Amino acid sequence: MDYPHRRYNPLRREWVLVSPQRTARPWQGEVSGASGFSAVHYDPDCYLCPGNRRAGGVVTPQYDSVYIFDNDYPALLPNAATGVLETPAGGRTELLVAEPERGRCHVICFHPDHSLTLARMELISIRRVVDAWMEEYRLLGEEFRYVQIFENRGAMMGASNPHPHGQIWATEHVPNEPAAETAALEEYHRAHGSCLLCDYARHELNESARVVCENDSFLAVVPWWAIWPFETLVLAKRHLRSLLDFGEAERDGLADLLKQVTTRYDNLFETSFPYTMGFHQAPCDGRPHEEWHFHAHFYPPLLRSATVRKYMVGFEMLGMPQRDITPESAAERLKGVVGEHFLDRDS
Ligand code: H2U
Ligand code: ZN
């Protein structure tokens, strides 16, 4: 398909415009040297390094694996006002709607070593992060309806610090993205009597053109409907609704697949590849959510080098998302890089 076409995203029930003819020219993207990695294991100015004082005055303790704390600048508060919000001058109107939102924001340090990233952490250390994510999902899910686990990696994606860390926001209401996915998954389940992402995973494994890597319990694909040039979707092979459905093998499997994907990303442009990554899973609202299928989205901004990014502006903001390089060629490039991290090759 080297002519403009649009592809359907059944998970968002939206279209994406694909314009592969714009990349018919030979590949001319530069390959920059390594950047974005910290060379020091401990940074005295890093608020996430063990023993350092954070902005709010609290001292980050001497942790030796995973450390979780309440965000010192939380976007959500556990006891937000529950009363009626002030009505706009001129009286109530259905056009200016607001409601209180309660929640909690946690920060999770993946490792005490400032120089590491998920790609370069040992599997056993990533597995500890997976276990901590599970526990957070379980505990926060008892109090809130949705638990959004995510990682902003790299300054390009707004991460405040190179120290390996992520965030967890729990909210009283299901946020827009998982709410839209819930509706699409429910509709598909009703219409077909099967799970949309089980069916999709089976298709991708058969066709293999968009599969980047896999293990016994997970696969990573550049989805048919990817928006970002090197976007990937990590799918559980079994029908797991949330982290709570994971067995031992799947906890190890997720750790392994996250390492595989982030390593391939770093190797693509020999840089610390920026992205926003996060899990989508069943809301914690007490319903069984048989339609839900655990997955991770990686949304990386880079287009053709460590410094050239894609901008979601113009037609994307006003019309619909658009991409040039096809998901199939992005998958081929990610599959084509060496599986071992470029910084670890000679050691
Ligand atoms: P990001 O790098 O994804 O922005 O995550 C870092 C979070 O850490 C950010 O939400 C919080 C910021 O509010 N933070 C603290 O809780 N304490 C600090 O001393 C600095 C930053
Ligand atoms: Zn640090």
CATH of residue 212: 3.30.428.10
In this predicted structure, the answer to whether residue 224 has a pLDDT above a threshold of 90 is: yes
Q: How confident is the model at residue 32 (pLDDT cuts 50, 70, 90)?
A: very low
Query: How remote is the CA of residue 110 from the centroid of ligand 2, in Å?
Result: 11
What the block records as the tokens of 162 is: 């190179």
61-77 pLDDT, tens digit per residue, is 999 999 999 999 999 99
Q: Does residue 277 line the site of ligand 1, with CB under 6 A?
A: no
Q: Does residue 107 line the site of ligand 1, with CB under 6 A?
A: yes
Q: How confident is the model at residue 83 (pLDDT cuts 50, 70, 90)?
A: low
pLDDT of residue 159: 83
Catalytic residue among 114, 165, 293, 297: 165
- Residues whose CB is under 5 A from ligand 2 (ion)? 43, 46, 48-49, 114, 163
Contact 233, 272 (CB under 8 A): no
Ligand 1 atom index nearest CA of 54 = 19
Is residue 29 one of the residues assigned to a domain?
no
Is residue 1 one of the residues assigned to a domain?
no
Is residue 168 one of the residues assigned to a domain?
yes
pLDDT of residue 187: 98
Length of the chain: 347
Q: Does residue 263 line the site of ligand 1, with CB under 6 A?
A: no
Distance, in Å, from the CA atom of 268 to the CA atom of 212, rounded to the nearest integer, reads: 12
Query: How remote is the CA of residue 36 from the centroid of ligand 2, in Å?
Result: 14
Is residue 27 one of the residues assigned to a domain?
no
In this predicted structure, the answer to whether residue 85 has a pLDDT above a threshold of 70 is: no
The ligand placed nearest to the CA atom of residue 74 is 1
Contact 132, 108 (CB under 8 A): yes
In this predicted structure, the answer to whether residue 84 has a pLDDT above a threshold of 70 is: no
The pTM score is 0.94
How do strand 232-236 and strand 275-280 relate by DSSP bridges?
unpaired
The lowest-confidence range among 214-223, 232-241, 338-347 is 338-347
Range of the domain at 53: 11-20+37-77+98-337
Q: Does residue 108 line the site of ligand 1, with CB under 6 A?
A: no
Residue 31 vs residue 48, higher pLDDT: 48
pLDDT of residue 105: 98
Query: How remote is the CA of residue 240 from the centroid of ligand 1, in Å?
Result: 31
- Candidate of 43, 167, 168, 276 to mutate for ligand 1, largest count of ligand atoms within 8 Å of Cβ: 167
In this predicted structure, the answer to whether residue 82 has a pLDDT above a threshold of 90 is: no
Q: Give the number of domains in the chain.
A: 1
Ligand 1 atom index nearest CA of 56 = 19
Query: How remote is the CA of residue 169 from the centroid of ligand 2, in Å?
Result: 21
Q: Taking phi first (over 0 means left), then psi (-120 to 50 degrees means alpha), and beta for anything else, what does residue 57 get?
A: left
In this predicted structure, the answer to whether residue 328 has a pLDDT above a threshold of 80 is: yes
Q: Does residue 75 line the site of ligand 1, with CB under 6 A?
A: no
Query: How remote is the CA of residue 52 from the centroid of ligand 2, in Å?
Result: 9
Q: How confident is the model at residue 226 (pLDDT cuts 50, 70, 90)?
A: very high
Q: Does residue 161 line the site of ligand 1, with CB under 6 A?
A: yes
Query: How remote is the CA of residue 297 from the centroid of ligand 2, in Å?
Result: 25
Contact 141, 66 (CB under 8 A): no
Q: Does residue 3 line the site of ligand 1, with CB under 6 A?
A: no
Detail the DSSP E strand segments found in the chain.
5-9, 14-18, 67-70, 103-109, 146-153, 165-171, 211-214, 218-221, 232-236, 275-280, 295-299, 322-323
Residue 272, amino acid? S
Q: Could you tell me what percent of the chain has a pLDDT over 70?
A: 93
In this predicted structure, the answer to whether residue 33 has a pLDDT above a threshold of 50 is: no
Contacts of 295 (CB under 8 A, 6+ apart): 197, 233, 234, 235, 236, 279, 280, 281
The ligand placed nearest to the CA atom of residue 48 is 2
Q: Could you tell me what percent of the chain has a pLDDT over 90?
A: 82
Ligand 1 atom index nearest CA of 160 = 2
237-264 pLDDT, tens digit per residue, is 999 999 999 999 999 999 999 999 999 9
pLDDT of residue 31: 45
In this predicted structure, the answer to whether residue 30 has a pLDDT above a threshold of 90 is: no
Beta bridge partners of 234: 220, 296
Q: How confident is the model at residue 347 (pLDDT cuts 50, 70, 90)?
A: low
Q: Does residue 55 line the site of ligand 1, with CB under 6 A?
A: yes
Is residue 239 one of the residues assigned to a domain?
yes
- Asked about 192 being catalytic, the answer comes back as no
Contact 117, 153 (CB under 8 A): yes
